[in-house]
Structure 1
Amino acid sequence: MNILFIGDIVGRAGRRAVREYLPELKSEKNIDLVIANGENAAGGFGITEKVAAELYSYGIDILTMGNHTWDNKDIFNFIDQEKRLIRPLNYPGDLPGKGWTTIKHQQKTISIVNLIGQVYLGNNNSPYHYFENLYPEIKDSDLIIVDFHAEATGEKLAFAHAVDGQVTAVLGTHTHVQTNDAQILPGGTAYITDAGLTGAVHSVLGMKVEKMVEKMKTSLPVRYEVATGDVKLEGAVIKISENNSCQNILSLQQK
């Protein structure tokens, strides 16, 4: 089985990248399951039911979220009914939606978990404790895929080592810059610090360059705008053997 994980989809440009590149990638790479981070998919901030449906129609099976989960209020209208969309498990409080889902796919039971970091990302609960509490419920799954949405690279890598051998893969999201460290950890877990950006090539993290530069130069509030033009799709492909172990993880950039 080959699983494609797509890095943060940013706005209309990111959705266009999925539409243009995903069908060919699925065929070329023999992709069986597609998971994508969609927390920036609607105008760069949050997601809507219409945008989620659009992404499913392009071939995405599961959408994960992050710190922008609640930015578009339309999410409250459908997150409890949409089992293909999960938000960070370790958010504080009793919130709508779920932080994990388990699906049956090609005779395999696959659990997908969404976690968010604590460093520079607000008052979130411990991802370690929340995962430890969840693990007994999903440990018999054939595959466990974790989207760890975090700012600090060290926080992502430390968590991956903490669960090495317990999960199939830990895939980092949030920073929108693909890292050059796709690897299989000693215990057999596939890992990459950040899967990257799916959106405009000429951009700063998917946003218009001039807006980001203005913000950095003046420190004044700036209304960010999703960049346009040429697009790219970034992510990682995880190759799973018949006995459910990770054979390889390869970073991917299509543009």
Structure 2
Amino acid sequence: MRILFLGDVMGRAGRQAVTEALPRMRSDWRVDFVVVNADNATGGMGCNAAHANALLAAGADCLTLGDHCFDQKDMLQAVEGDTRLLRPINFAKAAPGRGARVFQDARGRKVLVAHVLGNVFMKRAFDDPFSAIDSVLRTHPLGGSVQAAVVDVHCEATSEKMAMGHFCDGRVSVVVGTHTHSPTADAQILPGGAAYQTDTGMCGDYLSVIGMDKTEPMRRFVTGMGKTRFTPAMGEVTLSGLLVETDDATGKARDVRMIRQGGRLEPSAP
């Protein structure tokens, strides 16, 4: 199975780039299942229902959200009505929606997707991400009830993401980090067979400060004072993500490749 994961979609520029490119990426790379993190798809703060629908219509099988999952108020209803939208599994217990679900690809193969928030350096403490994920993985064993499993760990600290990678290794196909918007260069297959990358980066304009127009963040860093709201940068977009090929019998990763398409980060020819 070929699984494509695209990192945090950043604002209108990132959203348009993904919706335009994803059908071609699915076809050219013969992708079986697509997960997109949409936590910043609407103005850089959450994702509304219309923008979620656009990403799904473009070819995403599942959208993960993140710490901004309910910044757009209509998402409170959207996550209840559309099972393709996943909020973090360890969010408030009374929160609507779900944090994990088993999907099927076009050939009927079952794919578990689970989405979890980290605790280190986040704005508030969430429920323990490790016990939350453990419960889901025990219920849906890889190579048993599911043919593939993807975990999106949305957090600040690289150490926490790495710990989650090792914690899930041998029980999932992919563990991928999101949230920091800066892609790491450590894509690998862990000893137990899980494809891993600390952070996929964003689908956005990298001539920015983590996807925001650089003027206001720079002003606040330099002067300590804010003048206007942050707004997403609108320049040329780089699509960042991870492409993983798995073994259908075991669910383990056989190949992993970092994706850089377009914009400033696309690799140049040697």
Unaligned runs of 5+ in 2: 263-270
Give the whole-Å Cα distance in 2 for the aligned partners of 1:184 and 1:138.
Answer: 21
Match of 1:114 in 2: 115
How far 1:135 sits from its partner (Å)? 2.3
1:9 positional shift: 0.1
SS at match of 2:96: coil
1:150-204, Cα deviation, whole Å (9 max, x unpaired): 1000100011101110111101000001100000001111100001110123221
Counterpart residue identity of residue 250, structure 1: R
Say if 2:86 is the partner of 1:86.
yes
Q: Tell me which of 118, 123, 126 is aligned to 1:124.
A: 126
Deviations 1:87-136 (A, max 9, x none): 11011332111001111212211110000000011211111111122223
2:255 to 245, 248, 252: 248
Q: RMSD over aligned Cα, in angstroms?
A: 1.2
Deviation at 1:36, TM superposition (A): 0.5
Where 2:36 maps in the other structure, the secondary structure is: strand
**4+ long deviations beyond 3 Å:** none
Secondary structure of the structure 1 residue equivalent to 2:185: coil
> Is 1:205 aligned to 2:210, yes or no?
yes
Contact 1:173 1:194 in 2 (8 A): yes
Rounded Cα–Cα distance in structure 1 between residues aligned with 2:74 and 2:219:
30
The aligned amino acid for 1:252 is I
Aligned residue runs from structure 1 range 183-198, under 5 A: 183-198=188-203
Instruction: Determine the structure 2 residue equivalent to 1:53.
Output: 53
TM-score of the two chains, using structure 1 as the length reference:
0.96
8 Å contact kept, 2:148–2:246: no
What amino acid is the match of 1:77? Q
Q: What does 1:1-255 correspond to in 2, within 5 Å?
A: 1-105=1-105, 106-121=107-122, 122-139=124-141, 140-221=145-226, 222-243=228-249, 244-255=251-262
Letter in 2 for 1:129: S
TM-score, normalised on structure 2? 0.91
Q: Distance in 2 between matches of 1:77 and 1:169?
A: 29
AA paired with 1:185?
L
1: CA distance between counterparts of 2:129 and 2:206?
32
Distance 2:185 2:22 in 1: 22
Deviations 1:15-69 (A, max 9, x none): 1110232222222221111101001011110111101111111111100011111
